[in-house]
Structure formats: C-alpha cells, structure tokens
Amino acid sequence: MPGAAHLALDIADRTQSTAIAVLQDARGELRAVIEGGIELAEKTAASAFRLARKVTARIDEGVSEALTSTERLLGHGVKSLRETTRAATETATTAVAGIAGPSAAA
C-alpha cells in the first residue's frame, strides 16, 4: 500500500508541475500576443500621425498657391482697371477739349 500511495503522490506532483508549466507557457504566449498588439497599435498611430502631417502640409501648400494666385490676379485686375480709368479720363479730357475748343482747355 505505501508503494501505491507514493506512486499516487508522484503522479499528483507531476500533474501539478505540468499544469503550472503549461499555464506559464500560455501566460508567456498571451503576453507576446498582447505586446504585439500594442506594438501594432503604436505603429498604426504613428503612421496615422505621419499621414495627417503630410495631408496638412499638402493642403497648406495648395491654399498658399491659391492665395498667391488670387493676389496676383487681383493686383493685375486693379492695375488694368487703373490703366483703363486713366485712358478713359484722357479720352474724356480730349473729347471735352475738342468740343469746347482751345480756350476752354486752358
């Protein structure tokens, strides 16, 4: 009987040791999976921020170019309008001088 009791205790001890070893292995693998997930999330977030920076830079460049073009267009428009107004004033002055005669122009 003592041999059977020792055998049963040995089996219980080995089973307990094996179960704990399996649980330790499972814990290690679970930790590796979780760390991998965290690393993936970290890389994904970093990538998203890089993309957001690039998109912001490209939008800013586009808006800057549009504003510069608008400024040039408005500047040329105002310059053209000044020249047209000046030419119209000169034409009107010449017409009035032609109708009124040389004495009215002086």
The encoded tokens of residue 50 equal 């890089």
Cα(52)–Cα(66) distance, integer angstroms: 21
Question: pLDDT tens digits, residue range 41-95?
Answer: 999 999 999 999 999 999 999 999 999 999 999 999 999 999 999 999 999 888 8
- Domain assignment of residue 7, given as a range: 2-99
Q: Per the domain annotation, does 67 fall within a domain?
A: yes
Q: CB-side exposure of 56: number of CA atoms within 13 Å?
A: 6
Q: Is the pTM of this model over 0.75?
A: no
Q: How confident is the model at residue 103 (pLDDT cuts 50, 70, 90)?
A: low
Question: pLDDT tens digits, residue range 32-51?
Answer: 999 999 999 999 999 999 99
Q: Per the domain annotation, does 43 fall within a domain?
A: yes
H/E element, 46: helix 2-100
Amino acid occupying residue 32 = A
Q: How confident is the model at residue 101 (pLDDT cuts 50, 70, 90)?
A: low
Domain count across the chain: 1
Cα(36)–Cα(30) distance, integer angstroms: 10
